[in-house]
């Protein structure tokens, strides 16, 4: 099983790959995220010049999880598209002109991302692992068709806010001056 791709072997017109559970290229790497679920990844890598490559593709799978609202075990579907420019790994000393703080505000939805590779090999299985991990929702919810009567939450629409209608007990606070009443002055 080949986990990394030798970029020196990519022809000028590019190469398309189809990795899935049957072919098994990334089974061991993805097992901690997807368990025994199947996956299908199709991607194309083509050279832009002698060192840089364009990679684009899509991965589809399911991850075992629990609904954050009702606790039901679910198989949450993940389908992610990606587009990256693969560049050789460069040393970036702290004070170099290429060093930059990575911050979420620097990202925009339409931009192509850059990914580094070492030597002539790119670890595609590890890349797919990260794509799935980043696509995993923080608070997954039951799809409507799987559990239309998710009993705990009152608003079944995942795109709207989640609210519990629980009233807080009304507790009358003690006066801040009550402690002064027991003070004795000499």
Kindly give the confidence (pLDDT) of every residue in the chain, 186 residues in length, as a single tens digit, with 9 standing for 90 and above.
Answer: 456 899 999 999 999 999 999 998 899 999 999 999 999 999 999 999 989 999 999 999 999 998 887 778 888 899 999 999 999 887 766 666 555 555 544 545 555 678 888 888 899 999 999 999 999 988 888 776 555 566 444 444 555 555 666 677 777 777 878 777 777 887
Of the chain, the end-to-end C-alpha distance in Å amounts to 88
142 part of a folded domain: no
Total domains, the chain: 1
92 part of a folded domain: yes
Range of the domain at 78: 4-135
173 part of a folded domain: no
150 part of a folded domain: no
117 part of a folded domain: yes
Q: What are phi and psi of 105, to 5 degrees?
A: -70, -15
Please state, in angstroms and rounded to a whole number, the distance separating the CA atoms of residues 23 and 83.
Answer: 23
161 part of a folded domain: no
What's the DSSP call for residue 110? S
Strand order in the sheet with 113-117: 15-20, 39-47, 53-66, 73-88, 113-117
């Amino acid at each position: 099983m080949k986990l990394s791709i030798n970029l020196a072997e990519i022809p000028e017109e590019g190469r398309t790959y189809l990795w899935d559970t049957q072919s098994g290229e990334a089974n061991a790497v993805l097992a901690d995220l997807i368990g025994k679920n199947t996956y299908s990844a199709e991607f194309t890598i083509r050279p832009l010049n002698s060192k840089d490559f364009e990679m684009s593709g899509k991965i589809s799978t399911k991850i075992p999880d629990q609904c954050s609202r009702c606790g039901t075990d679910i198989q949450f579907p993940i389908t992610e598209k990606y587009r990256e420019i693969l560049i050789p790994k460069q040393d970036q000393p702290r004070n170099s002109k290429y060093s930059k703080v990575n911050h979420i505000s620097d990202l925009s939805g339409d931009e192509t991302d850059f990914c580094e590779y070492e030597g002539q090999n790119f670890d595609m299985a590890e890349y797919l692992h990260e794509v799935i991990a980043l696509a995993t929702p923080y608070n997954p919810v039951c799809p409507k068709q799987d559990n239309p009567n998710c009993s705990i939450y009152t608003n079944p629409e995942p795109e709207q806010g989640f609210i519990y209608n629980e009233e807080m007990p009304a507790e009358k606070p003690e006066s801040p001056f009550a402690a002064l009443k027991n003070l004795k002055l000499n």
